[in-house]
Amino acid sequence: MFNRRALQIAVAGALATGTLLTGSAGSAFAAPPPPQSANVRVQGVIRTIDDDGSSRPSATKSFGFTTTLRSGDPVKVVTIPSACAGGEVRAELDIAMNYFQGTNTVTVGSGTNTRDAVRLFEGASSSTTDLDGVGPVPRTDISLLNSSFTRKISVGNLEEGGADGVSVEMTISRVP
Ligand SMILES: [Ca+2]
Ligand SMILES: [Ca+2]
């Protein structure tokens, strides 16, 4: 005779002790080891704005790439230059990525590399190297395949004030 109550207790006990999947049948259902590599897709846009005059010129740069991180060489940093706004304001975006095979996790942004940042330059030309603002890329951890996160980052002219600025919006995805 089927004993529903006894089955419920057995299942609850197994769940509580973690033996449901790792007991005698564990070998048959053992999870495969984490993959040796992970593919990451990043798509986004960088907007720069110059605070000069009433026109407040702006510039937009779209970008996108897919890269493979390998367990033997797990760190990559991709630098994306912005377009120049008003002949004075440009930016650089460092996208730092790291694959932790042990936990099958891709980490993007802070925590992966000290270079990761959004840098704002404002000066007399579109090639100015006058660094006026730096902001971090927030950390994103991705373990699940086909999952995505969208991040928004803004940095202003921290050195000189005003309304010069850069804003980044990007979607980070783990892809097959
Ligand atoms: Ca300006
Ligand atoms: Ca400046």
Indicate whether 156 and 73 sit together in one domain. yes
Indicate whether 41 and 126 sit together in one domain. yes
User: In angstroms, what is the span from residue 167 Cα to ligand 2's centroid?
Assistant: 17
User: In angstroms, what is the span from residue 149 Cα to ligand 1's centroid?
Assistant: 32
User: Which of the ligands is closest to the CA of residue 87?
Assistant: 1
Indicate whether 134 and 51 sit together in one domain. yes
What are the tokens at 125? Answer: 């030309």
Indicate whether 168 and 97 sit together in one domain. yes
pLDDT value, residue 29: 77
Indicate whether 70 and 87 sit together in one domain. yes
Indicate whether 106 and 20 sit together in one domain. no
Task: Give tens-digit pLDDT for 23-57.
Answer: 444 566 788 888 999 999 999 999 999 998 789 99
User: In angstroms, what is the span from residue 143 Cα to ligand 2's centroid?
Assistant: 40
What are the tokens at 96? Answer: 């730092």
Indicate whether 19 and 75 sit together in one domain. no
Indicate whether 84 and 153 sit together in one domain. yes
User: Which of the ligands is closest to the CA of residue 132?
Assistant: 2
pLDDT value, residue 10: 46
Number of domains in the chain: 2
**What sign does the dihedral 128-56-161-140 (CA atoms) show?**
negative
Please determine, for residue 18, whether its predicted confidence score (pLDDT) is greater than 70: no
Indicate whether 39 and 93 sit together in one domain. yes
Rg, Å, the chain Cα set:
24
Q: Which of 92-106, 108-122, 157-171 has the lowest mean pLDDT?
A: 108-122
Instruction: Give one DSSP letter per residue of 5-58, joined into a string.
Output: HHHHHHHHHHHHHT-TTTSTTHHHHPPPPPPSEEEEEEEEEEEEE---TTT--E
User: In angstroms, what is the span from residue 54 Cα to ligand 2's centroid?
Assistant: 19
β-bridge mates for residue 168, sequence order:
46, 153
Task: Give tens-digit pLDDT for 118-138.
Answer: 999 999 999 999 999 999 999
User: Which of the ligands is closest to the CA of residue 89?
Assistant: 1
User: In angstroms, what is the span from residue 172 Cα to ligand 1's centroid?
Assistant: 31
Indicate whether 49 and 18 sit together in one domain. no
Q: Which domain holds residue 23?
A: 1-31
Please determine, for residue 104, whether its predicted confidence score (pLDDT) is greater than 80: yes
Indicate whether 11 and 43 sit together in one domain. no
User: In angstroms, what is the span from residue 3 Cα to ligand 1's centroid?
Assistant: 77
Confidence of residue 84 (pLDDT cuts 50, 70, 90): very high
Indicate whether 21 and 48 sit together in one domain. no
User: In angstroms, what is the span from residue 64 Cα to ligand 2's centroid?
Assistant: 29
User: In angstroms, what is the span from residue 131 Cα to ligand 1's centroid?
Assistant: 13
